[in-house]
Amino acid sequence: AAQKGCEVIGEIALFQRLKGAVPVLAVTGTDGKSTTTTWLAAMCEASGRPTWAGGNLGNPLCESVDELTPEHVVVAEVSCFQLSTAAEFHPQAAIVTNLAPDHLDYYQGSYDAYTNAKARVMANLGVGDSAVLNADDPLLSTWSAPSGATTFWFSR
């Protein structure tokens, strides 16, 4: 399709177009994505906010679109594969747990290509948005949120 000039997008890009004003907390990283996503969703629910968790976690994001209201928050686990087809994806917070060589078969052995895919989670952050990064990770400690967004660090 792309070779014929047709737009090809993935599920999180489609979700971005359909979700309306619902805020999204996006979680990615090599390890800890599911645990972090589940934990964040539980915290949001405990605060009384209607919450929907999904994405790479096993619940496709697009399944939630019809039930979401502006009061909801979506906590989305997003993989490098999903991010590679999501140029317009704009979460309000991007959480990156850690980075280590993974899926290098898909990226023809290039760790840089893998980490660039992961970095796309922050590409569209802007004023009022946040990046939450692992200060203990050698590569992530060199990253920062795009202009206008705020970077928060966590550490052991």
pLDDT tens across 57-108, in order?
889 999 999 999 999 999 999 998 899 888 889 999 999 999 987 777 777 7
pLDDT at 106: 74
Q: What is the CB neighbour count within 10 angstroms for residue 36?
A: 20
pLDDT at 128: 96
Beta carbons of 12 and 76 less than 8 angstroms apart: yes
User: What domains can be seen in the chain, in order of their start residue?
Assistant: 2-154 (3.40.1190.10)
pLDDT tens across 122-142, in order?
999 999 999 999 999 999 999
pLDDT at 20: 83
Taking the whole predicted model, whether its pTM rises above 0.75 is answered as yes
pLDDT at 87: 87
Residue among 148, 152, 89 nearest 119 (CA): 89
Q: Which amino acid is at 152?
A: F
pLDDT at 1: 82
pLDDT tens across 20-54, in order?
889 999 999 999 999 999 999 999 999 999 999 99
CA 131 to chain centre: 10
Tokens of 147: 């202009």
Exposure string over 106-133, b if 16+ CB within 10 A, otherwise e: ebeeeeeebbebbbbbbebbeeebbbbb
Q: 145 to each of 67, 115, 125, 131, 148, how far by Cα in Å?
A: 31, 15, 7, 6, 8
Beta carbons of 65 and 16 less than 8 angstroms apart: no
The residues annotated with a catalytic role in the active site are: 33, 56, 103
Beta carbons of 73 and 22 less than 8 angstroms apart: yes
Q: Which amino acid is at 90?
A: H
Beta carbons of 13 and 6 less than 8 angstroms apart: no
pLDDT at 134: 96
